[in-house]
Structure 1
Amino acid sequence: MSTYDEVEIEDMTFDPDTQIFTYPCPCGDRFQISIDDMYDGEDIAVCPSCSLMIQVVFDKEDLVEYYVEANLEPPGKIAVAV
C-alpha cells in the first residue's frame, strides 16, 4: 500500500469530542483516523474525499495524553516508558 506522506502525531489535530485525529489533505478535505484505531495498531489515516492516505508516526504511549484530553480511559493498559 502506497501512502502520500508520513506525518508525526504531534502535527495532527485531535478533536476530543469526536476522538479523531485529522490532517489537511491536498484535495482540500482532511485525513482522518480515530484514536481507538490507532490504539489497535492502525497507522494509516485516509481522506474521505479522495484516494490519498498518510502514515501516522506515533508510539502507543503517545496516545495516553489524548485519551486524557478526551476524558477517556484507554481501552487497555498502555505501557509507558519511565
Structure 2
Amino acid sequence: MDIYDEIEIEDFTFDPELKIFQHPCPCGDRFAITLDDLVDGEDIAVCPSCSLMVKVIFEPEDLEEFLED
C-alpha cells in the first residue's frame, strides 16, 4: 500500500451529519474516512477521485468528543 502522507486527525474537518472526516487532496477532491472506520481501528483515508491515500494519525481518545454527539 502506497501512502501519500500522514496527517494528524486535528487537521481533518468533521461532518457531524455524515460522521465523516475529510481533508483536501492535491487533486482537488477530499480524502475521507468515517468515524466508524476510525473506531474500528482503520487509519487510511482515501480520495474518491484519485488513487492517493493518507494515514490518519490519532489516538482512540481523540475520537471521544465525536462519539458523544
TM-score range normalised by the length of the shorter chain = over 0.9
Considering only aligned residues, what root-mean-square deviation do their CA atoms show, in Å?
A: 0.6
Structure having the higher strand fraction is 2
SS in 2 for 1:63: helix
Tell me: higher relative CO, structure 1 or 2? Use CA pairs within 8 A at least 6 residues apart: 2
Runs of 4+ in 1 over 6 A off after TM superposition: none
Greater mean alpha carbon deviation, residues 58-67 or residues 40-49: 58-67
Residue number in structure 2 paired with 1:35? 35
Compute the TM-score of the two structures, normalised by the length of structure 2. Answer: 0.97
* 1:66 to partner: Cα distance: 1.2
Please list the CA deviations of residues 13-35 of structure 1 after superposition, one character each: whole Å capped at 9, or x if unmatched: 00000000000000000000000
Compute the TM-score of the two structures, normalised by the length of structure 1. Answer: 0.82
Residue number in structure 2 paired with 1:11? 11
Count the aligned residue pairs.
69
Please list the CA deviations of residues 44-65 of structure 1 after superposition, one character each: whole Å capped at 9, or x if unmatched: 0000000000000000111001
Structure 2 alignment gaps of length 5 or more: none
Structure 1 alignment gaps of length 5 or more: 72-82
